[in-house]
Each structure stands twice: as structure tokens, then as C-alpha cells.
Structure 1
């Protein structure tokens, strides 16, 4: 088992004990967000740093439908 630390821009997002280590280019979901592995670095025999880039999702604005309002 390996202690895998998922890091994005010097921020530790998640630390897990895993049986296998993710590879470069692999798609992951961390805390409900899509991430892609950019690099994998072995710190020692048990600790591994996995650098990820999170996908930025732009939220669309809510559109109000005024046609269903009651007319007076």
C-alpha cells in the first residue's frame, strides 16, 4: 500500500492509501471534480505525490421565464 498525496498548485487536495498508483494522463474524480494527472513523483518507497490539474467548469446563468407569470 502507498500513501498517495493528490496536489494541485502546492495545495494538498486529498491523501489516500491506495494499492496502485495513478499514471500520467489518467482521468480522476477528486471531491466530485474532474482532474487529470499531470505528473507522479516518488518521495520515498511509501509516499507518492501526484500532481493534478482540475477542470474548470463555468456555470451558466439562470434564465428567468417571464411568460408564465400571472398577468393582471
Structure 2
């Protein structure tokens, strides 16, 4: 088992004990967010730092509200 520490832009996200080490460009899902592994760094024998880039979530409600405001005028 490996201790995998997930980071996004040097901000700590999650620590998991996994049997497999994520590979670069692998798609991952953490805390309900989809992301892609950017890099993997080995710190110790069983400890790895994995840097992830998450997809940008667009809030659909805000765009819908702005459309309604435009139509009312």
C-alpha cells in the first residue's frame, strides 16, 4: 500500500492509501471533481505526491440569471 498525497497548485487536497500509483495524464475523480494527473513525485519508499489539475466548473445558474436580466429590459 502506498500513501498518496493529492495537491492542486501547492494546496493540499487529499491523502489516500492506495495499492496503485496514479500515472501522469490519468483521469481521477476526487471529492466529486474530475481532474487529470499533472505530475507524480516519489518522496519516500511508500509516499508519493500527486499533482492534479481539476476541470473548471461553470455555474449554470449564474449564466441563466444573467440571461433573464437581459430579456426583461
Q: TM-score, normalised by structure 1?
A: 0.82
Bigger radius of gyration among the two:
1
Structure 2: runs of 5 or more not aligned: 69-73
Gaps of 5+ in 1: 65-72
Which structure shows the bigger proportion of residues in helix conformation? 2
2:57 and 2:17 map into 1 onto residues whose CA distance is 28
Superposition RMSD on alpha carbons, in Å? 1.2
TM-score between the two structures when normalised by the length of structure 2: 0.81
Distance 2:60 2:31 in 1: 21
Q: How many Å apart are 1:12 and its aligned residue?
A: 1.1
Q: After superposition, where does 1:1-72 map in structure 2 within 5 Å? A: 1-61=1-61, 62=64
Q: Paired residues, what number?
A: 64
